[in-house]
Structure 1
Amino acid sequence: MLGASTSLPANVDSIGTLVGVDEEPKDFGFDRASLKAAGFEGKAGQTLVVPRTSGPPLVAVGIGERGKLDPGKLRDAAAAFARAVGQQARVAIRLPDTGTVPPAVAAQTITEGVLLARYRYRPYKRTAVQEPPLEGLTLVTSPENLEEVEQGVVLGGVTARVAGLARDLANAPASLLTASRMAEVAEVLAKSSGLEVEVFDGEALSELGCGGLLGVNAGSAEPPRMIKLTYRPKGNRGKAVEPVGRIALIGKGIMFDAGGLGLKPNDLVHATMKGDMSGAGAILAAMTALSQLGCKAEVTAYLMCTDNMPSGTAMRLGDVLTVRGGKTVEVINTDAEGRLVMADGLVLATEQSPRPDAIVDIATLTGACQRALGVRSAGVIGNHQALVEQVKASGERTGDTVWQLPLDQSYRAELESDIADMKNVGGDNAGAITAALFLEEFVDGVPWAHIDMAGTARAESDSGWRSKGATGYGARLLLDFLMGFTPPTASRH
């Protein structure tokens, strides 16, 4: 249970207080020197649990310099608190003066930090001692801020739920979350979330001419699925209203990426390829909250789902695939499959009527992007700067940060093929850019932004609000982006 209050609940197991450097908390009964002697200086990420003979323990949580607080630092501080009290089910945090961070935003980010840090995916662990689930979180604030804080707690609960759903999907074993099962999950979630859903099987995809998705699926015993989700804003009494804009989302849903005939190594890194559907998972998760939050834009999503497996029927090097719309692609690398399935979705998005004002795709697309940017920021590339700026702003607000890479047309020649319209990979360098240039071929001039989340989809250890395993990256970013979407009208570059 989440909530806000002007006083401490009677049944909490621990009470957190945010403490800056050179500050002396009034609630602890210790002076600054005593806290420092115990190893607590108020630095960001520090915690000190002070047990008491009566009443729940007090937890000092460092936030660094209070004057430099921002939502990201509050989210991280809340995560540090959550990890310090990981064995406790009911916790409270005193919400102090947060300076330039409005109370509602502070409450939202603190709620996110606690819930995301306490996330665990352990449905199959039966022997290990498990942390108890979090049963209650209360933010204690002043009476004048109570209403804003309550609103922030509610919103933080929604956004954390969205990220948790994306994590669940990406953490699920690929033997259980197949493309067919992903479609079934989407149908259930759509029904409870006010979404329209259409599922396209292999026969329907063949009729649509989706040669990219079918080509990648050719080596798999599991059939493919394209999942089309549609959200339409509604006004009073559930009547449809004119949207502020229309946007299409395309998600890479490679349920397990073995690399096709270009088999990946059998190592710990590639054992995580069940998460190669994280882009599709982030979209599905984000869309489950649109009706609840009253999104004013119309959103259509295409989740392109299949395995990429080796077999006697798998696509081969030199094969030519015909993507929706007729463009032909020579397969030079069977492990560059994500762009092939997404190409079909991009073309379908451009064919919508009315045409979308913008297209955003999200994918664990290239190792090159991870090598360039690491594991904390995804890459974003687009053909319309105003749209890219909206994505960047949402990344900053949510902590799902992006860094813009150039759509450098000088690399386009590397995609030229001798026997088809284009190849599916470029040269040895600038792999994230050539992958984006490949995708741009299918957007037909519609304002478009591409998010390459290859490095950010997974955390190898607990770090801040990122729990080990799937991070749920992109779900909160997309939700924030969709809630504030404005059709781009500025100059393209």
Structure 2
Amino acid sequence: MVAAVRGLDPMPSWERPVAVSVRPPSGGDGAMLPGVPVGVTGKVPAELGIGRDALRAAGFDARVGQAMVLTRDGAPVVAVGIGDPARLDAAGVRDAAAAYARCAATQERLVLTLPQGPGLDPAAAAQAAVEGMLLARYRYPVLKDIGKTGRPKRGGQPLVGEVVLLTAARQVRAAAEGARRGELFGRAAAMARDLATSPPSLLTAVRMAECAARVANGAGLETEIFDRDALLELGCGGLLGVNAGSADPPRMIRMRYRPEHADGHVTLVGKGVMYDSGGISLKPADAVHATMKNDMSGAGAILAAMAVLPALGCRTAVTGYLMCTDNMPSGTATKLGDVLTIRGGTTVEVLNTDAEGRLVMADALVLATEEQTDAIVDIATLTGACLRALGAEVAGLFGTDRELLRQVCAAAVAADEPVWQLPLDRRYRGELESEVADLKNVGGPNGMAIHAALFLAEFVGDVPWAHLDIAGPAQCENPRLWRTPGCTGFGTRLLLELLLSFTRPGGAASGGP
């Protein structure tokens, strides 16, 4: 069965674009369950064939997230709550569209009248609506009911094949551009979910490199893949040290997107631990183990985001480092007390092999500083401490440059992927001092997310840097609206929003990769 699993495609969403269109209402759209927005104030749309009192009596008060099937003249229609239209924003549209898509769960073709609000740009509304519908109906079909054939069976809830938005003729052009962007954002996030959901026997570091090469070939990106020998030559002791206990070889994947006349250059670094057992510092035998296939979510988010940059016409040049290995206990594994040498010569005493993400990323951070770049952004499921501090829906944010951090926060708001800035407090730096090496890979029992960020900061030099700890929101245990259960793809759309609107922080170097 393992051989059959290895032969399947770990990212089906990449090969499955959805047809998206925008047009004025015509009265003959042929939708089986069209969605009609309803606000808590104003007139109830005539298409519903029902008044507000009757809606309320049925338990529908038009709050965002509500959707209900009604019947008018024998044909079903979906009432979609949008709350107060005067306060409707893109996040509300995304939630409302997701509620509609879930309500129309049997339909491959979704037709929604685009929600309107006085301060709502039609392009932003259309983007959010398409994202909401696609992400709400996401599922991972690769291994479902494969049986003896080794291939998934047909049946079950259909995937969305077409999205139609209806809006006034004067808004069609702007909304169509937003809808196209929403399809690309949604497709990228779905790819990141695919990758993080794939079992570790299906998505090894080697297979991740193959996926990156396939994506690059289809999207027009450059890709370099570094095997163990190449990593030894580069002196990437962090990645090699974490890989020491594994039967599967490591891979470092460097991807490049080079638009003509780029407006800036951002380097992305992603943790790609394909499965994290904790190594010799073995994790407890609890439910956490089953989620550790998602420990490559940072690398997955970068791969997925970069896959759609050319189609989006991004003006920022991007270099991505995906640091891929698993972290396993064995007779060859790195031991507590071992000292690793990071690219550039910094020595690190390993006192907890479960603090491995910072080790694999340190090599890439050094490599990132060895060429001109305007900013470095890393993303990783790095610390359980960040999950405990901020919960399962908010990522931790650290960094060295106020303007870059402001841009990351703005991108988080636009994507509705929330972050909260935590202090990169140098008072804790002394807890990383080692008696036998330049650094320890862990500090004391308190402030562990800060320790991890301070460790990474040692390797970025003077380049503006931001660190996203997504240990919490990478996994969703309480699904709602477009946040489906399991691996979330968190950070993919945030990175896209950042890269599409990026401006060089003050004092940053200019130039491309």
Residue 433 of structure 1 aligns to a residue in which SS?
helix
- Name which of 328, 337, 344 aligns with 1:325: 344
Q: Give how far 1:490 is off.
A: 6.3
Whether the aligned pair in 1 keeps the contact of 2:272 and 2:299 (CA below 8 Å) is: yes
Alignment correspondent of 1:391 = 408
Q: Distance in 2 between matches of 1:129 and 1:176?
A: 23
Alignment correspondent of 1:2 = 20
Residues 64-79 of structure 1 mapped to structure 2, 5 A cutoff = 64-79=83-98
Corresponding pairs, count: 482
Q: Give how far 1:401 is off.
A: 1.6
Whether the aligned pair in 2 keeps the contact of 1:169 and 1:281 (CA below 8 Å) is: yes
Q: Distance in 2 between matches of 1:431 and 1:20?
A: 45
AA at the equivalent of 1:333: N
- Name which of 54, 65, 72 aligns with 1:45: 65
Alignment correspondent of 2:109 = 90
Q: Distance in 1 between matches of 2:507 and 2:321?
A: 26
Greater mean deviation of Cα atoms: 407-416 or 482-491: 482-491
1:203 aligns with 2:229: yes
Q: Distance in 2 between matches of 1:266 and 1:80?
A: 36
Residues 431-470 of structure 1 mapped to structure 2, 5 A cutoff = 431-470=448-487
1:475 aligns with 2:492: yes
Whether the aligned pair in 2 keeps the contact of 1:98 and 1:106 (CA below 8 Å) is: no
Alignment correspondent of 1:280 = 299
- Name which of 17, 22, 25 aligns with 2:45: 25
1:179 aligns with 2:205: yes
Q: Distance in 2 between matches of 1:51 and 1:146?
A: 28
Q: Distance in 2 between matches of 1:72 and 1:456?
A: 17
Residues 240-259 of structure 1 mapped to structure 2, 5 A cutoff = 241-259=260-278
Q: Give how far 1:368 is off.
A: 0.7
AA at the equivalent of 1:397: A
Whether the aligned pair in 1 keeps the contact of 2:196 and 2:300 (CA below 8 Å) is: yes
Residue 116 of structure 2 aligns to a residue in which SS?
coil
Whether the aligned pair in 1 keeps the contact of 2:87 and 2:117 (CA below 8 Å) is: no
1:341 aligns with 2:367: no
Q: Give how far 1:298 is off.
A: 1.4
Alignment correspondent of 2:16 = none
AA at the equivalent of 1:50: L
Q: Distance in 1 between matches of 2:41 and 2:86?
A: 12
Q: Distance in 2 between matches of 1:267 and 1:130?
A: 31
Structure 2, unpaired ranges of 5+: 1-18, 146-152, 509-513
Structure 1 vs Structure 2: percent identity of aligned residues?
A: 56
Structure 1, unpaired ranges of 5+: 234-240
AA at the equivalent of 1:324: R
AA at the equivalent of 2:22: A
Whether the aligned pair in 1 keeps the contact of 2:299 and 2:380 (CA below 8 Å) is: yes
Once the two structures are superposed, residues 302-346 of structure 1 have per-residue CA deviations (whole angstroms, 9 ceiling, x without a partner) of 110000000011011111000000000000111000000000000
AA at the equivalent of 1:86: A
Alignment correspondent of 1:314 = 333
Q: Distance in 2 between matches of 1:226 and 1:421?
A: 24
Residues 159-238 of structure 1 mapped to structure 2, 5 A cutoff = 159-233=185-259
Q: Give how far 1:26 is off.
A: 2.3
Q: Give how far 1:444 is off.
A: 1.0
Residue 414 of structure 2 aligns to a residue in which SS?
helix
- Name which of 351, 361, 375 aligns with 2:392: 375
1:302 aligns with 2:321: yes
Q: Distance in 1 between matches of 2:111 and 2:453?
A: 45
Whether the aligned pair in 1 keeps the contact of 2:115 and 2:125 (CA below 8 Å) is: no
- Taking a change above 3 Å as real, the CA distance of residues 125 and 244 of structure 1, as seen in their structure-2 partners, is same
Whether the aligned pair in 2 keeps the contact of 1:90 and 1:137 (CA below 8 Å) is: yes
Q: Give how far 1:289 is off.
A: 1.1
Q: Distance in 1 between matches of 2:112 and 2:436?
A: 64
Whether the aligned pair in 1 keeps the contact of 2:41 and 2:85 (CA below 8 Å) is: no
TM-score by length of 2: 0.92
Alignment correspondent of 1:238 = none
Q: Distance in 1 between matches of 2:331 and 2:262?
A: 48
- Name which of 28, 52, 55 aligns with 1:35: 55
1:80 aligns with 2:96: no
Q: Give how far 1:242 is off.
A: 3.0
Q: Distance in 2 between matches of 1:42 and 1:386?
A: 39
Q: Give how far 1:269 is off.
A: 2.6
Alignment correspondent of 1:486 = 503
Residues 100-115 of structure 1 mapped to structure 2, 5 A cutoff = 100-115=119-134
TM-score by length of 1: 0.95
Once the two structures are superposed, residues 450-481 of structure 1 have per-residue CA deviations (whole angstroms, 9 ceiling, x without a partner) of 00000011112421211111111111111111
AA at the equivalent of 2:365: L
Q: Distance in 1 between matches of 2:460 and 2:159?
A: 44
* 4+ long deviations beyond 4 Å: none
Residue 315 of structure 1 aligns to a residue in which SS?
coil
- Taking a change above 3 Å as real, the CA distance of residues 490 and 210 of structure 1, as seen in their structure-2 partners, is closer
AA at the equivalent of 1:376: E
Residue 167 of structure 1 aligns to a residue in which SS?
helix
Q: Give how far 1:128 is off.
A: 9.6
AA at the equivalent of 1:92: V
Q: Distance in 1 between matches of 2:32 and 2:328?
A: 49
Residue 46 of structure 2 aligns to a residue in which SS?
coil
Q: Distance in 1 between matches of 2:168 and 2:105?
A: 27
Alignment correspondent of 1:236 = none
- RMSD of Structure 2 on Structure 1 (CA): 1.5
